Amino acid sequence: MNKIKHYIWINLTAVTLFVILVPTIIVMGFGHSLPISLAKSNVKNLTNSSSNLQNSVHRDLTSKPINLGWISGTNNHLSQYSSYNGLNVLSPALLTINDDFDLNVNSENLPSTNKQDIWPRVVMKTDTKLAIHTFLTNQTKVDQLINDLRKSALLHKWSGINLDLENVSAEDRDNFSNFIQKLSHALHYSNILLSIDISPDHTGTENLNTPFDHEILGIFCDYVIFMGYDQHWSTDPIPGPITSLDWLTSNLQEMIRTGIPSQKIILGLPTFTRIWQLDSNGKIVNAPAYSISHVESQLKQKHIPTTWDSNLGEYTSSFVENNKRNKVWLTTTKSLKLYLSLIPQMHLGGSAFWNLNLISKNDWNQLF
């Protein structure tokens, strides 16, 4: 009997040490990334080993939905957003990776805000696939940047970082995943959240041979912001909506199916639309972007009728002006409320809007 008790005690001790020490070793070792396949299997195994064990590299996520607003341009007027209902995260463009892959911090005269958290947006000055590839394959620069990001967040008391590197090539999928893994370890070690902005995969690819490995992002990021725009770009051969209900829904479903937990997905929505101008042959000659409120106001002033499309969840309009056919897909407040209803339906982590510069307090407060 004593031998049996001794055997049970040894096994319990071994399991306890495994559950406690292995996650700690993974987090503390943020300077070295694991191979992608090993990173996936390690976290899965650790999660399955105990019903009480969270993903080893994650701090607890906030219990309330995230409502994030990106801010472009100057960053010295953040206080104007203090009366935006429900807005709990501001993401101004404060951090730039320059052409030498060093971090430039633009935080001068940045006022403190007590109401909202700050997750500064990280962008590359030269955002080309070649530049991103050169950066991701330079481990010295990668490690230096990660350390500088962590130090800046601690210095300025930012609760999170928002990474916006969109132009990643499919060939750099593993390089980018390794970068995210190392960045996640470093930030989580200092209790700083990591969010990342990604565009949708091509429909039906199921996240195969694409730039962003959904399973890795689902493991190592606190939030993955799905940029629910542009469904149709200004360079597309045919005009169409910037976003729509069926397009958002299908992309969200695919992201969840391919490895991103629904509660970590933030639904990114546009505060802009386009007026598509076509020549007599139906070719796009211009597609300027305007705030939604501006286009809505112009249509009303000119008494141009609109038609509600229930599949798209927005209004459409077509009219002739200056000898050109104009087409509009208008994402009104009614549309945005419909899109926001996907958050509780699909158990998402919250919303994000590009960008706050284009939506008034009154229009925002109609949403929240």
- The C-alpha R_g of the chain, in whole angstroms, comes to 23
Residue keyed to tokens 């800046």: 152
- Low-confidence stretches of the chain (pLDDT < 70) are 1-63, 74-76, 108-114
Answer whether 71's CB lies under 8 Å from 250's CB. no
Structure confidence at residue 205 (pLDDT) = 84
- Give the pair of three-digit tokens for residue 284: 């796009």
Dist. CA 139–CA 142, nearest whole Å: 5
Query: For residues 317 and 246, is the Cβ–Cβ distance under 8 A?
Result: no
pLDDT tens-digit readout, 114-170: 679 999 999 999 999 999 999 999 999 999 999 999 999 999 999 999 999 999 999
| Residue 102 near residue 135, CB atoms below 8 Å | no
Q: What number does CATH give the domain 66-272+346-367?
A: 3.20.20.80
pLDDT for the residue 23: 42
Report pLDDT for 202: 81
Of the candidates 244, 240, 327, which has an alpha carbon nearest to the alpha carbon of residue 279?
327
Helices (H), 31-128: 36-49
Residue 202 sits at the vertex; the CA angle it makes with 197 and 206, to the nearest 5 degrees, is 90
Strand bridging mode 160-163 / 193-198:
parallel
> The tokens of 140 are what?
């010295």
Q: Is 91 helix (H, G, I), strand (E, B) or coil?
A: strand
> 72: helix, coil or strand?
coil
Establish how many alpha carbons lie within 13 A of residue 364's alpha carbon, considering only the half-sphere containing its beta carbon: 23
Count of Cβ atoms closer than 10 Å to residue 280 Cβ: 8
**For the segment 86-117, what is each residue's pLDDT rounded down to a tens digit?**
999 999 999 999 999 999 998 765 655 567 99
What pLDDT score was predicted for residue 41?
A: 55
**Distance (Å, rounded) from C-alpha 202 to C-alpha 341?**
24
Phi, psi torsion values for 273, nearest 5 degrees: -150, 180
CA-based angle 340:344:350, to the nearest 5?
A: 60
Average pLDDT value over all residues in the chain:
86
What's this model's pTM, rounded to 2 decimal places? 0.85
* pLDDT score of 80: 87
Q: Report which DSSP code applies to 126.
A: S
20, containing H or E segment: helix 2-28
Domain positions in the chain are: 2-49, 66-272+346-367
Residues belonging to the chain: 368
